[in-house]
Amino acid sequence: MLKNKFRFVTLHTKTAFLFAVGLAGIIFSSLFLTRYFFLFSLNELENIEIHKASSQASFVIRSLSSRQETASYDWAYWNESYDLLAKQDDGFAERNLHVDELDVLGLDFISYLTPDRRFQVGVGRDIEDIESFTTTVINDEGIAHHLIDMQSKLSANKTSISGLIRLDDDIWVVSVSPVRDGAADAPFAGWMIWGQHLSLRFPSAFEGILTASNSIIVDQEEMARLDFHSYDLNSDREHDSGVKRSKSELYHYTSLTDISGKVIAVLETKEPRTYYQKGEAVFYYLIIAIAVVASIVACITFVLFRNNIGKRFNYFEQDIKSLISSSDVDLEGHKDEFERITKLVQSLAHASSKTEGQLKDTLQKFEALYHSQSLGMVLVVEKMIVDVNQMLLDLLGYQREDLVGNNIEILCSHEAGDLCSADQLYINLAQGLRQFEAWLSNKEGDTVYCIIEATQFEQDGRISVMLSIKDISEQKQQAVLIDSLTHKDASTGLLNRPTVINLFKSYFQHSSEGDGFSLLYFNATRLKEIDEIYGHVAHDDVLKHFAECLLRNFGDQSVGRISENEFLVWDEEKNYVHLEEMANRVLEKYSSKMHVSGFEFDIGLKSALVPSSSHFDSFENFSYVGLYALTEIKAASKKGLVIVDEELKVRSKESLSLNRDIMLALKNNEIVPFYQPIVNASNGQVVGFEALARWKHPSLGMIPPGVFIPLAEQRRLIVELGESILDQACQFIKEIQQKSTSSSQNRLSIHVNLSSPHFNHKSLVETLTKMIKKYQLTQGQLVLELTESILLGSEEEIIDRMDVIKSLGVQLALDDFGTGYSSFSSLCNFPLDIIKLDKSYIDALETNDKAKSLVRNIIHMSQELGMTTVAEGVENASQLRKLNVWNVDEVQGYYFFKPMDKESALEKFAR
């Protein structure tokens, strides 16, 4: 936790802190070292002192003993002493041996012994029985040993001895000297023993000269506890002794030995530790003082460091931080700035070596670009041309010296005006536009259309621009060409369908209520026929001729070709009278045969005028109304122009919506056949049915085939529709056959209408085969009704195809006979089984004699050729009577039955 916190302390604080701590550390450690050596020295000093004091005390005791021995010689060689022992002088004791004398000599006892070590006389201070005391003294091991030792020696060789002895708990300084006469020529007379009671006199008697306090320890137990070094009183050898320390005192122990060398007591020297204590106290003050000073110094260092040197660190840190944040190197997990910067430098070093490689690469590419064979390059520094490449010189025909050093304006074409000025260039750059087109001028002053790409950069503090220039004159020309190709119809030069659609789209988007325009729709209905009959060349010539006529009359911006044979002319004038006049003029010219390349052609031109676009919202609606209006022309057999009124618009819209729905209708089985019975003309018996398609539209109700069959043809759905009707019709006839009680010889036939595309479709034969098999149709039971239009084209091929169909056992009927253009004789060439007389002939029977004889002859001839005749649209008995007279085979019409749905038919006829 703390460690983590420390991690986020900034580098300069951290550094200052460490620096200050280091400094304080140095101060304190040196202080403690000093203290150690100082106190160590004090200890040494104390040691020396206590040694000195101890040796002084020892010396005092030693000198006590030696001085006593030396002093005793006077008395030992004194005649009186001699006389005392040698001549038994009893007065001696009276004269010399009393306590005053002891005081003078500084002794505590004096005793004389005979040579055989018997007590002679003596005196002692505070000693009751001097004789027994003396006996004790001379029984001391050391003294006894000396005396016995001296016994064997000649009198002249007897020597004195002095030293310490212990008597009970008292220590005595004792000297034993041989007694002789003053001339030293008499023999040895005995021994004189002097003694001082050391325990009494030491150290009290010597306090004036002893530097330390001393005491003599005699307690055996205490002595045994002490760690002392023996000190031989008889030698001058220095012994190092153990120094004992308490907090306030220093102790030194020296052993005291008796004459025989046995330790009898310990001299304790004691000194207060004044130096040490004072020294230590001084040191405490010193430590406190230095600690305060060191802390202050550390603080000052910290602050100064942090504020002055640290400031630089601060900048350094910030720079590092920004460097780190600008780099994408991952530096998480690196503790401090130094680690991070190290990592960063490593990755930068790596990147820079990479960048260097890339730079080299770029340079090479740039070099290649500059010497490009396709791009002209110009280096401009502050509007001045500084360098150009060869390609540019080639492009504009200049020499290098013509351009270098000149203002960039020199390259601008006069035609361009402001578009190519140097100012414009910089404005473009400032707006972030880096690519633009410009007219440049070559040396001859001709305009060259170019595309310029400009790259701005700074060179030595000056704004430089590198222009790469490409000549696009050719592309421009191509663009114009492509534009015309994409917008115009290749064979007529009129605007093509996509262009017209786009144009109208924008018209509809931008026009508001009321400002509509008028539309003229042309349909060259027989253009396709011309192509089929006369070939492509004639077709194209006729097409061009017609297109030129439109262009002449209406101008090239308002005429378009929207399909093979549909053309549109539009006019923004609200008054359409002008358009109507023009339309009539064109129609007039093309209504009759038109002459092209010496031939006569009828293009079947029809036109519709839509007075206002205001109620249309899409091009599809708008153009469809024209096409739809033409059905009016056909229905009313009008020639020429229809003016589209509101009602027509509504119907057109409906038709269009049907057009959209028809595909779905087929899928959803909304288109079903109704069945109209065909009866035997003579006895009225039903011999078969014709399947007639009906569209049960979910919202518009029942829709007649006259409306949706053409739609299906346009949408290429007619084959699918035909197959669906065929299937349903065949199924119907099978069902009715199964339910019918009539004998199998009287098989009912089923007539199915076949469109031209379906007849020509490759799948037809296969489909028929399948149906016959599936519904077990008998020979001739299925009848296909064909119209005359099917018979257009190669007769041979059609006949072949008919033969194939017939070979399956299918009969062929010619529907609507009499409405087409083919002659009856030509029909004889086709292998037809049934002829269906069109309703228009039957209608005419009542009123038109010509029609009567025509019908009569047709029936007659057909029978001659072995074909069955069927009269369509019989509505009354009079018609039937006539037809019966002429021996028509079968009739079909409302007089007998209207077309009915499957259920009604089954109910009525399946018996």
> Rule CB under 6 A: which residues touch ligand C2E?
676, 691-693, 704-706, 709, 722, 725, 753-755, 785, 815-816, 872-875, 892-894, 899
Contacted by 203, from Ca ion, ligand C2E, none: CB < 5 to 8 Å by type: none
Contacted by 893, from Ca ion, ligand C2E, none: CB < 5 to 8 Å by type: ligand C2E
- Using N-to-C axis directions, what is the helix angle for 764-774 and 718-739, rounded to 10°? 20
Contacted by 705, from ligand C2E, Ca ion, none: CB < 5 to 8 Å by type: ligand C2E
Q: How far is the CB of 732 from Ca ion (least distance, A)?
A: 16
CA-CA distance, 895 to 911, in Å (whole number)? 22
Q: Is 749 in the site for Ca ion (CB under 5 A)?
A: no
Residue closer to Ca ion by CB (options 337, 785) is 785
Q: How far is the CB of 566 from Ca ion (least distance, A)?
A: 29
Give the count of residues interacting with Ca ion (CB under 5 A). Answer: 5
Residue closer to ligand C2E by CB (options 180, 758) is 758
Contacted by 875, from ligand C2E, Ca ion, none: CB < 5 to 8 Å by type: ligand C2E
Q: How far is the CB of 718 from ligand C2E (least distance, A)?
A: 7
Contacted by 704, from Ca ion, ligand C2E, none: CB < 5 to 8 Å by type: ligand C2E
Provide CB contacts within 8 A for 708, sequence distance 6+. Answer: 658, 662, 665, 671, 693, 695
Query: Using the 8-state DSSP alphabet, how is residue 464 labeled?
Result: E
Residue closer to Ca ion by CB (options 252, 839) is 839
Residue whose tokens read 């269906």: 836
Strand 518-524 with 462-471, pairing: unpaired
CA-CA distance, 873 to 440, in Å (whole number)? 80
Residue whose tokens read 């308490």: 246
Q: Residue-wise over 365-384: b if at least 16 C-beta within 10 A, else e?
A: eeeeebebeebbbbbbeeee
Chain position whose Cβ is nearest to ligand C2E:
894
DSSP H stretches of helix in 521-618: 527-534, 536-554, 577-591
Q: How many alpha carbons fall within 13 Å on the CB side of residue 274?
A: 6
Residue closer to ligand C2E by CB (options 170, 875) is 875
Residue closer to ligand C2E by CB (options 661, 815) is 815
Contacted by 543, from ligand C2E, Ca ion, none: CB < 5 to 8 Å by type: none
Distance of CA 494 to the CA centre of its chain: 54
Residue closer to Ca ion by CB (options 115, 899) is 899
Query: Using the 8-state DSSP alphabet, how is residue 187 labeled?
Result: P
CA-CA distance, 810 to 767, in Å (whole number)? 12
Q: How far is the CB of 819 from ligand C2E (least distance, A)?
A: 9
Q: How far is the CB of 505 from ligand C2E (least distance, A)?
A: 36
Beta strands, E only, 603-715: 605-610, 641-643, 671-680, 686-697, 701-703
Contacted by 388, from Ca ion, ligand C2E, none: CB < 5 to 8 Å by type: none
Q: How far is the CB of 779 from ligand C2E (least distance, A)?
A: 23
Residue 584 neighbours by CB distance under 10 Å: 15
Q: How far is the CB of 676 from ligand C2E (least distance, A)?
A: 6
Contacted by 725, from Ca ion, ligand C2E, none: CB < 5 to 8 Å by type: ligand C2E
| 406 φψ region: left (φ > 0), alpha (ψ -120 to 50), beta (else) | beta
Q: How far is the CB of 824 from Ca ion (least distance, A)?
A: 17
Contacted by 376, from Ca ion, ligand C2E, none: CB < 5 to 8 Å by type: none
Q: How far is the CB of 789 from Ca ion (least distance, A)?
A: 13
How large is the C-alpha radius of gyration of the chain? 76
Contacted by 781, from ligand C2E, Ca ion, none: CB < 5 to 8 Å by type: none
Residue closer to ligand C2E by CB (options 140, 816) is 816
Q: Which of 49, 258, 788, 816 is the binder for Ca ion (CB under 5 A)?
A: 816
CA-CA distance, 606 to 634, in Å (whole number)? 10
Residue closer to ligand C2E by CB (options 465, 692) is 692
Q: Which of residues 766-805 bind Ca ion (CB under 5 A)?
A: 785
Residue closer to ligand C2E by CB (options 197, 758) is 758
Residue whose tokens read 């192509």: 531
Helices first, then strands: H and E counts in the chain: 32, 30
Contacted by 706, from ligand C2E, Ca ion, none: CB < 5 to 8 Å by type: ligand C2E
Residue closer to ligand C2E by CB (options 233, 691) is 691
Nearest C-alpha neighbor of 546 from the set 630, 554, 485? 554
Contacted by 113, from Ca ion, ligand C2E, none: CB < 5 to 8 Å by type: none
- Using N-to-C axis directions, what is the helix angle for 795-807 and 764-774, rounded to 10°? 20
Q: Which of 271, 815, 889, 890 is the binder for Ca ion (CB under 5 A)?
A: 815
Residue closer to Ca ion by CB (options 55, 811) is 811
DSSP H stretches of helix in 849-910: 849-864, 877-885, 902-909
Q: Which of residues 413-432 bind Ca ion (CB under 5 A)?
A: none
x/- letters, 824..863, toward Ca ion (CB under 5 A): ----------------------------------------
Residue closer to ligand C2E by CB (options 388, 709) is 709
CA-CA distance, 135 to 313, in Å (whole number)? 97
| 333 φψ region: left (φ > 0), alpha (ψ -120 to 50), beta (else) | left
Residue closer to ligand C2E by CB (options 691, 888) is 691
State residue 358 phi and psi, 5-degree precision: -65, -40
Question: Residue 768, class by beta-carbon neighbours within 10 Å (0-12 exposed, 13-18 middle, 19+ buried)?
Answer: buried
Q: How far is the CB of 668 from Ca ion (least distance, A)?
A: 25
Q: How far is the CB of 753 from Ca ion (least distance, A)?
A: 5
User: DSSP per residue over 192-230, as a string?
Assistant: EEEEEEHHHHTTGGGTTT-SSEEEEE--HHHHHH---B-
Question: Residue 390, class by beta-carbon neighbours within 10 Å (0-12 exposed, 13-18 middle, 19+ buried)?
Answer: middle
Q: How far is the CB of 525 from ligand C2E (least distance, A)?
A: 19
Q: Is 704 helix (H, G, I), strand (E, B) or coil?
A: coil
Q: How far is the CB of 836 from Ca ion (least distance, A)?
A: 5
Q: How far is the CB of 754 from ligand C2E (least distance, A)?
A: 6
Rounded-to-10 torsion of CA 193, 198, 200, 202: 150
What element of type H or E holds 86? helix 79-86
Q: Residue-wise over 737-755: b if at least 16 C-beta within 10 A, else e?
A: beebeeeeeebbbbbbbbb
x/- letters, 294..323, toward Ca ion (CB under 5 A): ------------------------------
Q: How far is the CB of 887 from ligand C2E (least distance, A)?
A: 21
Residue closer to ligand C2E by CB (options 181, 889) is 889
Q: Is 753 in the site for Ca ion (CB under 5 A)?
A: yes
Residue closer to ligand C2E by CB (options 42, 693) is 693
Q: Is 853 helix (H, G, I), strand (E, B) or coil?
A: helix
Would you tell me which residues interact with Ca ion (CB under 5 A)? Answer: 753, 785, 815-816, 872
